[in-house]
Each structure stands twice: as C-alpha cells, then as structure tokens.
A and B are shown apart, each in its own frame.
Chain A
Amino acid sequence: MAIEAEENRRDFLILATSVVGLGGVAGAAWPFIRSWSPSADVLAQATTEVDISALQEGQMITVPWQGKPVFVLKRTAEQIASAREGDKVKLPDPNPPSKDAERVKRPEYLVVLAVCSHLGCVPQPIGTGDFGGFLCPCHGSHYDTSGRIRQGPAPANLTVPDYDFKDDGNTLVIGKAVG
C-alpha cells in the first residue's frame, strides 16, 4: 500500500515536471517561431500610390504593392459590358465580391491583385484569356474582365485589394495604412 502510494506520487511528479518542462520549451520556442513572421519594415510597405492620370482606355499597368503585382486596368465599354454579362452565369467562385459592381469602385477601373489564386503565378495581361480577361500561364486558369475565375484549376477570383482614389481620381492609393 505504501509502495503503491509512493509510485503514484512519483508518477504524478514526473508528469507534472514534464508538463511544466514542455510548457517552458514551447514558451522559449515562441520568439524563434515569431521571428519568421513579416518584420516591421515589411509591414511598413502597406500602401502604394499610383498616378493613373495618363492611363488610356483599354490600357493596363502592373504596379508593385507589398512586393506583389497589382493590375490596374482602365476598362473599355465592351470590357465592362462583358464583365456585367459574367454576372448572369454560375461562377466557380460565387463568394462576394463576385458581382462586377461589388468588385470595382468605378466601373472603368479594375484593380486586382495579379496573383493567381491557384499557386500564385502572375496572370498574363488583359486579353490573353478566354472571356477577354487574363490567362494564368502556369496551369491554365482563365480570369474574365472582372478578374473572376471562369475556367481552370484556380479556386477563387483575383483578390480586390483595399484601394481608394484621390486628387480627383488622378491618383490611386492601394492598401490601407497599418496602425
């Protein structure tokens, strides 16, 4: 009886010590793990300003934001119409924003992250894909003139970043200042 109690006591002590020890190790590991997350200077590149006053209808530019390319397209009337057509079909990714009106702040400007939702390649410029939009060359995903996935392995529409216009619409501000 006494021996059994002694054993239970030992088991308990070993268990308690191990748990505390493991907790300590986990706590000590945390700074190492966190050191891999984006550092302050990376986070500081939160916004990009682009002068879009010279952009012609049908013209597209690629601008870097947080190290990632962003397509800024000044859409023609046909491109807008074709995007509105797309509202009527069953889309592979119906999650909002999926209606063209939800995806643009001004119908003539399409601003989307040029990062394919499949595996992150940069799709090719406007007009390369079926549906008049962008073709991702890596594994053949087709996006339409609203940057929505229409065909291919990509699971989601191109992301619409936070953006705003200023200076009477001559400047585009991509991203949100942090802090």
Chain B
Amino acid sequence: MFKSIMEWVDARLPVSDLIKSQATEYPTPKNLNYWWNFGSLALFVLIVMLATGLFLAMHYKPDANLAFDSVEHIMRDVNFGWLLRYLHANGATFFFVCVYIHILRGMYYGSHRSPREILWWFGVIIFFALMGTAFMGYVLPWGQMSYWGAAVITNLVSAIPVVGEELVVWILGGFSVGDPTLNRFFVLHFLFPFVVFGLVILHMWALHAVHSNNPDGIDVHEGKDTLPFHPYYTIKDLYGVGVFLMVYLAFVFFAPNFFLEPDNYIPADPMKTPAHIVPEWYFLPFYAILRSIDFLGSFSKLAGVVAMGGAIAILFILPWLDRSPVRSFRYRPLSRQLFWVFVLDCFVLGWVGYNPADATLFDGALPLIVIGRTATAVYFSYFVGLWLVTVLKIEKPKPLPKSI
C-alpha cells in the first residue's frame, strides 16, 4: 500500500530520489568527529526557536505600553508560558554556542577553503542574520536592558558620515526608541528566522554540491572513505541532540535566568539609563572591540563601529587569507597555536566587554581599556598572522596522510 502510494508520487515528483541522494545515501566522510555535530545541532535549535517563537507570538503584544506586561502575563498566566519563554530565551544562548563552535570548527579544519567558499559565505551571512534576529528579539520584553541596548545599538548607525543621523530617525520611526521601533522590531524578529531558514537551505545546497570536509582536511575518495549518511550519521547526530538537550534543558529548568539580566525585569524607562549596560554574552567580544577604539578623537565612534563590523566581515575573506597548501590545522603546528591564541583572545574580549568601560585592575594600575585595545589588536592579528605565516611559507606543514 505505502509502496504503491510512493510510486504514484515519485512518478510525479521524485521525492524518494531526493531523500536517497541527499539524505539516506548521501556519502559522508567516515572520520568526522564530534565537532561535526554542531551544524545539525544549530538546525535543531533553529527549529526549536521557530516553534517556541510562534507560540509566544500568540500571547505577546508589540506595544510600548503593553509589551512588558504581556511577557509577565506569559510567565504567570499562560499555560506553560514560562516554559515557552525560557526555552526561547535560553535557546538563543545555545544557538550561539552551537554556531560559534560550528564556525571555529570550520576555521580549525579549513572547511572554508576551496571549494567551500560559497558554503562558508552563506554561513557568515547566516551569522549576521542571526545576530540581527537576536538583537531585535531582546528588545521585545521592553525591560531596561531591552530599551537601552536598542538605544545604544541603533545609535551606532549615526556614526555613518552625512546621512547617519537621519538614518537613525528612520530606523527608529521617531526621535528616540519608542513604540514604532518596538512594533517594527517585532515584525522583523518574526520574519528573520524564516529568512535564516531559507539561507540554511542554500547553505545545505552548497554543502551537498561540494560535500563535507573532514578532520584531516584532505579530499576523500567516494566509496572507500565514505559512509552513507543513514544510519551512520543520523544516529550520531541524534546522539548529539540527546547530549545537547541535557545541557540546554538543565539551564531551562534549573537556572533559567542564568543568562538573563536582572535589569531586564525592570520596565523600560526612557528617562534613565541603567548604571551598567551589558549586551547579551554572545555580543560581548564585539562590544569590547567597539569600546576599545577610543583614542582617535572624533573618529573614534566611526572607527569603533567599523572595527566591530569588520571583526565579523573579515570572515568573508578568510578563505583567501589562508595560503597554506594544507587545509586542516592538524598538520599545521604554527597555525594551530595561532588558533588557540585567537580563541583565548575571544574570551578575554568577552570578559572586557562584560566589565564597565572605566574599570581597572590592580587598584587602578591597569585600566581595562588597555587590555581591550590589546585584545582587539590580537584579534585582527590572527588573520594577518595566518596570512603571513602561510604566504611567506614560515610554517612547514606535517606530511598529509594518503587517505582518511
């Protein structure tokens, strides 16, 4: 019965063919390690976010006078509203965990290098879209952090010469963050994840055109070096989802506010800025870069914004900065060291971004801003350094295996 139905469908739309060639029998390198789980995990979180977000939107009110209360209404009155909200709020955190690991995986194993540049670009575009989505979502509860985060970030636009000021007014729909801003952010926050979903399909299309890289970073021989995706990787990805859910749900059920700011439970007050504005943790390194550029007088603001955007946009050209004949850092001792310095540096930047701008260490002997500037320099030096050690052939790669 089922078979004959499928035959009828396949004669009209070749569904079985697509499932076979792109999923069940899709050839996958047999040596993928657990770092390769984070792509499917990111997709899993995206689906969780779409589902919880959709149902939250059925109770939320995008109105400056009602928004804060409607979130409290969701938390207190709506059946399982607290669960939907905590899943969604913590989901954003774990989305970034997955995507950061996913990106670093690509940087370490050279997954961005030829022929995967377009695949990589879609990834970076997804990352930008994700940041925009997360930012606008954080505005919706209309607490103090929502409001002032929105004020600070939209103000970045005013750094653009000539048209900046007018552009901010246009984006806000007023002279300050207000009801029109909240309303349009809500609509865009609703829309963006579906755009991201479309981008993920393009990302997967590009992946399936060139196939997965692998921890050795060498080209694989189909058949000898590959396994059908099902059951080998369906099982492995599902196992990853299980482990992931344990961590994610531990936060949702036992420490749901760990990543949230207490100040965001105070309703937005346009007349009063909280003493210390902190963005969500996943923006901290970039926030630190923004604040570190404060020594260029009236150019500081524009330069800070450019540096912050550039810190991410530089990923677009990473495939061409790395000139080594070898993809994977497994066989590149020097690049590997640079990589770990880079990862550490991102944590330092995050820590600097978390602290107040005028904080100091050792009783004022060491202003944090100095650490921030240094860490910013190190961040960009990674990319320059990687280019230098490969273009000048300073690094001697270890011999590559003949096959995986």
Contacts and interface: CB of A to CB of B under 8 A. Distances in A.
19 contacts: A36-B173, A36-B184, A37-B170, A37-B173, A38-B180, A42-B180, A64-B270, A67-B178, A69-B272, A119-B151, A121-B152, A137-B356, A138-B152, A138-B357, A139-B291, A140-B358, A153-B294, A153-B300, A156-B298
Q: Chain A at the B interface: mostly helix, strand, loop or mixed?
A: loop
Contacts of B175: 38, 42, 66-68
A93 B176 contact: no
B298 A155 contact: yes
Contact of A138 (B158, B178, B277, B304): B277
Interface of B: 148, 151-156, 158, 169-171, 173-178, 180, 184, 270-277, 291, 294, 297-298, 300-301, 304, 356-358
Contacts of A123: 273
A62 B269 CA distance: 12
Interface string A116-157: 001111111000000000001111100000000000111110
A38 B169 CA distance: 7
**Chain A contact patch, size range:** 20 to 34
Contacts of B148: 121, 138
B301 A66 contact: no
A8 interface: no
A69 B158 CA distance: 18
Given A66-B175, A67-B178, A155-B301, A119 B156 contact: yes
A34 B171 CA distance: 10
B171 A64 contact: no
Contact of B151 (A39, A93, A120, A156): A120
Contact of A122 (B170, B271, B300): B271
B355 to A, nearest CB: 12
A152 B294 contact: yes
A92 B300 CA distance: 12
The 4 A-B residue pairs whose C-beta atoms are closest, nearest first, are: A120-B155, A67-B176, A140-B358, A153-B294
A42 B175 CA distance: 8
A94 to B, nearest CB: 10
B173 A122 contact: no
B357 A36 contact: no
Contacts of B177: 67
Contacts of A121: 148, 151-152, 273, 277
Given A119-B156, A153-B294, A62 B173 contact: no
